Structure 1
Amino acid sequence: MKTLLALVLAGVSTFALADGVKEAANPPVVEQYDYSTNLDIAKVISLSTIPNVCEVVPATMTYEDHQSQRHTIEYRAMGDGCKQG
């Protein structure tokens, strides 16, 4: 029984490794955002860090849509260094 469990776990880990290699071989295309872009965001995966500068900087967001497709968009954001107070 332990041997069967070990074989199943080895098979599953091989598929997981192959999926990771596939993702590395096909990196996501970075789309450029503008105000006319229709976004279908079901889940935000990651947001880039906005630097502490007082100027417009590039930022990225990776998200999943409602069909579980992953997207990465690049947009412009104001840096966090302009706060007065």
Structure 2
Amino acid sequence: MKLASVVSAVISSLAPMAFAQDAIKNPGAELPVTEYHYGMSLDVDKVLHRTDNSGKVGVVPAYMVYQDHEGQTHKVRFLEWGGSTSQG
């Protein structure tokens, strides 16, 4: 019975690390997404994360997670040209 308690405590202590790794891989995952439209004003003070589309071809979706000048975090989705060519 005591071994089960120890194993349970170890597994419980590792759970926050798993969630932290997910946040590193997908920053801003819990934030609501704002769809960008042409001419939209964004109050960007600091970019926290931006999608890397350098290996993609054509128009692809991208995300940017940023902080505004009041320290609030936002996530915006927009379309951009990928950085790769179809010739490779």
TM-score range, shorter chain: 0.5 to 0.7
| 1:60 corresponds to 2:63 | yes
Report which of the two has the higher share of helix: 1
**Residue identity in the other structure for 2:32:** V
Query: How many angstroms does 1:37 deviate by?
Result: 1.2
Output the aligned Cα RMSD: 2.6
What is the TM-score when the length of structure 2 is the normalising length? 0.60
**Residue identity in the other structure for 1:75:** F
What is the TM-score when the length of structure 1 is the normalising length? 0.62
User: Which ranges in structure 1 are unaligned for 5 or more consecutive residues?
Assistant: 1-16, 21-26
- For residues 46 and 35 of structure 2, what CA distance do their matches in structure 1 show? 19
- For residues 53 and 79 of structure 1, what CA distance do their matches in structure 2 show? 5
- Count of residues in correspondence between the two structures: 61
